[in-house]
Amino acid sequence: MDYNNADFLTEKILSGDKRALSRAITLVENEDPRAVKIERDLYGNTGKAYRVGITGPPGAGKSTLVNVLAREFKSRGNRIGIIAIDPTSPFTGGALLGDRIRMGAALADPDIFMRSMASRGGTGGLARTTTQVADVMDAFGFDVLIIETVGVGQLELDIAGSVDTTVVVLVPEAGGGIQAMKAGLIEIADIFAINKADRDGAEILKSELQDALSLMPAIKNSSWDLPVKLTVALEGKGVKELVDTVYAHKDHLEQTGKFHINRQSQAEIKIKDIVRAEVAKRLWMNPELSTMMDSLSRFCVEGKIDPYTAARSFLRSAEVQKV
Ligand SMILES: Nc1nc2c(ncn2[C@@H]2O[C@H](COP(=O)(O)OP(=O)(O)OP(=O)(O)O)[C@@H](O)[C@H]2O)c(=O)[nH]1
Ligand SMILES: [Mg+2]
């Protein structure tokens, strides 16, 4: 038995071995076949961690906030797992190093485990395997999972489908409320944190946001009043209140039954992803279909057929062959 063996890793993860956890996460990230076995065997132990997403524009102070949030959650008796989605290339390591420095204090803590992932291959500001990594960390026994993802235009929307509470971090700047509305951040936010509130304009942004919110009927009619909190992550200010607000949102989800509904739609997304990948694999790996694809693509270039008709004949052929 060793750290390359799936059963060994599963057993060690359940007994709290962080080295096994790190190793399994690497297998998941690399989409190694052993990861599927580990994920399946661990699945019965997932679902206990409360998942909090931290998103927002680059440089808003998300990592700094995650660091202080993690310590606040810990002071309330929780063990914390952090996943930081690094928007840059996995090969430079630059942002990874940066995150390690900004989260320095939290990292030295045995109750806080941090993992950076490259966002490559994924959409929605999440790495493709983020939810699988989160599941493995969940099974390990963390009480709270914090997922940091960079907000890049529309692309952070996926985070909202992967966590229980989404905190959108903004910073004071002119027109920030309008920008948040345009970028669709209001739709995904469960809580707003205006960070860098030590700077001018935080109160103005807060009232801008509240004005924008009052204009949105869907949000006005919701039984959850979208809170806008001020934080100074660098000084740890407002962090207790922010954690209180996360717990208030959790209570709201549980009391309204939304917690269960959200978790179910997250499970549906996971199943669909697996089905999609499996279908694609079957189609692309089939030798006869592959030959057919060669011809079809050639016919397209030669102007004999359009891609839609080509796709339809391809699918018909897959059906006939019962692929
Ligand atoms: N003045 C002030 N600066 C802050 C505050 N919080 C974070 N910063 C600074 O803002 C800069 C960016 O902080 P990060 O925590 O790296 O921000 P981020 O959103 O994680 O950045 P990316 O992950 O690169 O998008 C750093 O220099 C922080 O020290 C704050 O509350 N006030
Ligand atoms: Mg960061």
Q: Which residue puts its alpha carbon closest to atom 10 of ligand 1?
A: 61
pLDDT confidence tier of residue 11, bands split at 50, 70 and 90: very high
pLDDT confidence tier of residue 211, bands split at 50, 70 and 90: confident
**Predicted local distance difference test score (pLDDT) of residue 90:** 40
**Predicted local distance difference test score (pLDDT) of residue 154:** 47
CA–centroid distance, 50 to ligand 1, in Å, is 24
pLDDT at 153 over 60: no
What is the per-residue pLDDT across 87-108, written as a single tens digit (0 to 9) for each?
Answer: 654 433 444 445 555 555 555 6
**Predicted local distance difference test score (pLDDT) of residue 215:** 80
Least Cα distance to 133 among 27, 1, 278, 242 occurs for: 27
pLDDT confidence tier of residue 175, bands split at 50, 70 and 90: low
CA–centroid distance, 39 to ligand 2, in Å, is 27
**Predicted local distance difference test score (pLDDT) of residue 214:** 84
What DSSP assignment string belongs to 200-236? TTHHHHHHHHHHHHHT-HHHHTSSS---EEE-BGGGT
86 — phi, psi (to 5°)? -95, 120
Please answer whether residues 288 and 321 qualify as being in contact, where contact means their C-beta atoms are separated by less than 8 angstroms.
yes
pLDDT at 2 over 60: yes
Give the pLDDT mean for 253-262: 96
Tokens of 198: 């030590």
pLDDT at 218 over 60: yes
Least Cα distance to 172 among 72, 269, 57, 260 occurs for: 57
pLDDT confidence tier of residue 221, bands split at 50, 70 and 90: low
CA–centroid distance, 120 to ligand 1, in Å, is 23
Q: Which residue puts its alpha carbon closest to atom 32 of ligand 1?
A: 196
In this structure, the number of other CB atoms found within 10 A of the CB of residue 10 comes to 22
CA–centroid distance, 70 to ligand 1, in Å, is 16
**Which has more confidence, 67 or 216?**
67
In this structure, the number of other CB atoms found within 10 A of the CB of residue 72 comes to 19
pLDDT confidence tier of residue 4, bands split at 50, 70 and 90: very high
Q: Which residue puts its alpha carbon closest to atom 9 of ligand 1?
A: 61
260 — phi, psi (to 5°)? -65, -45
CA–centroid distance, 233 to ligand 1, in Å, is 8
Reduced to 3 DSSP states, what percent helix, strand and coil does the chain have, rounded to the nearest 5?
A: 60, 15, 30
pLDDT at 246 over 70: yes
**Predicted local distance difference test score (pLDDT) of residue 223:** 85
Ligand nearest to the CA of 55: 1
pLDDT at 134 over 70: yes
**Predicted local distance difference test score (pLDDT) of residue 309:** 97
Task: Indicate if the alpha-carbon torsion angle 48, 259, 28, 116 is positive or negative.
Answer: negative
**Predicted local distance difference test score (pLDDT) of residue 96:** 47
Give the pLDDT mean for 183-187: 76
Q: Which atom of ligand 1 is nearest to the CA of 235?
A: 31
**Predicted local distance difference test score (pLDDT) of residue 125:** 57
Q: Which atom of ligand 1 is nearest to the CA of 150?
A: 25
CA–centroid distance, 96 to ligand 2, in Å, is 9
- At residue 97, the 3 state secondary structure works out as helix
Q: What is the pTM of this model?
A: 0.87
Q: Which residues of 167-195 are buried (b: 16+ CB within 10 A; e: fewer)?
A: bbbbbbeeebbebbbebbbbebbbbbbbb
Pocket lined around ligand 1, Cβ cut-off 6 Å = 58-64, 102, 150, 195-196, 198-199, 232-234
> Given ligand 1 and candidates 55, 62, 64, which is best to mutate, with the most ligand atoms within 8 Å of its CB?
64
**Predicted local distance difference test score (pLDDT) of residue 5:** 96
Q: What percent of the chain has pLDDT over 70?
A: 83
Q: Which residues of 94-117 are buried (b: 16+ CB within 10 A; e: fewer)?
A: ebbeebeebbeebbeeebbbbbbb
**Predicted local distance difference test score (pLDDT) of residue 323:** 85
Q: Which atom of ligand 1 is nearest to the CA of 67?
A: 15
Residues 6+ apart with CB under 8 A from 312: none
Give the pLDDT mean for 265-286: 91
